[in-house]
Amino acid sequence: MIGPVALNLSIEVVPFAIRAERLEVLLTRRPTGWRLPGGPLEGVENLDAAARRHLTDQTGFGGAYLEQLYTFGRPEAAGGLAVTVAYYALVSCGALAVDPAADGRARMEWSSLAALPDLLQDHAGIAALAHRRLASKLAYSTIALQLMPERFTLTELQAVNETILGEILDKRNFRKRILALDCIEATGETARRGGHRPAQLYRAKRPGQVDFIK
């Protein structure tokens, strides 16, 4: 059944990853310009499933952590109403390493959140809202782990937090806090990277799961 107004429902996803110590957003190129991955529903599907489908089809990062952000309604020039259900996705550095063979996919490109190109509609605003949500969730959840590879050092985890928050953290206090959360464990292995003391490698105790703290 269709309501009295023409509805255009779309799903948009803000895919985040940490690249080169910066928080970046993955954009796709369409004939009309850059936009967030997303698009209309196809058939009868769960909204979460639709978000994941768009992400997978358009970027290949189907394993990302996905969370609903907000729903917007926007009158269209043609007289209908565009309803956008926005999600954000966290792509782990691990998934980034393997280039998701972009066969037949729209062209895509990571862009620094601080310097997005002109985007379709209000996609820039959606990305900014997603960033605020992500930053505030750092304070009361273990969501940052979703951006990490399977094994990571504490210094790397700290750097991810610093990048998202835009401020530097105290090394000793950060480590004490994270370890007290009981959300990661040492693997026993070390990472020998460069001319300096190797770092312990840690892994998430409950990978894929975001715990709330306090």
Binding residues for a copy of itself (CB under 8 A): 1-9, 40-48, 50, 68, 70-73, 75-76, 78-81, 83, 85
Q: Is 145 in the site for DNA (CB under 7 A)?
A: no
Q: Is 176 in the site for DNA (CB under 7 A)?
A: yes
State how far the Cα of 182 lies from the Cα of 184, in Å rounded to an integer. 6
Parallel, antiparallel, or unpaired: how do β-strands 81-90 and 7-19 relate? parallel
State the minimum distance, in angstroms, from the CB of residue 139 to a copy of itself: 9
Q: Which stretch binds DNA (CB under 7 A): 26-34, 53-61, 81-89, 148-156?
A: 148-156
Q: Is 80 in the site for DNA (CB under 7 A)?
A: no
Record the tokens describing residue 200, joined without a space. Answer: 């312990």
Residue 97 site contact among DNA, a copy of itself, none (CB < 5 to 8 Å, cut-off depends on kind)? none
The three-class DSSP label of residue 197 is coil
Identified binder of DNA from the candidate list 3, 73, 188, 195, rule CB under 7 A: 195
Determine how many CB atoms are found less than 10 A away from the CB of residue 86.
24
Q: Which stretch binds DNA (CB under 7 A): 9-17, 63-71, 144-152, 186-194?
A: 186-194
Q: Is 200 in the site for DNA (CB under 7 A)?
A: yes
- Output the DSSP codes for 78-146: TS-EEEEEEEEEE--HHHHHS----TTPPPEEEEEGGG---BSTTHHHHHHHHHHHHHHHHHHB-GGGG
Q: Is 139 in the site for DNA (CB under 7 A)?
A: no
State the minimum distance, in angstroms, from the CB of residue 47 to a copy of itself: 4
Record the tokens describing residue 92, joined without a space. Answer: 């782990």
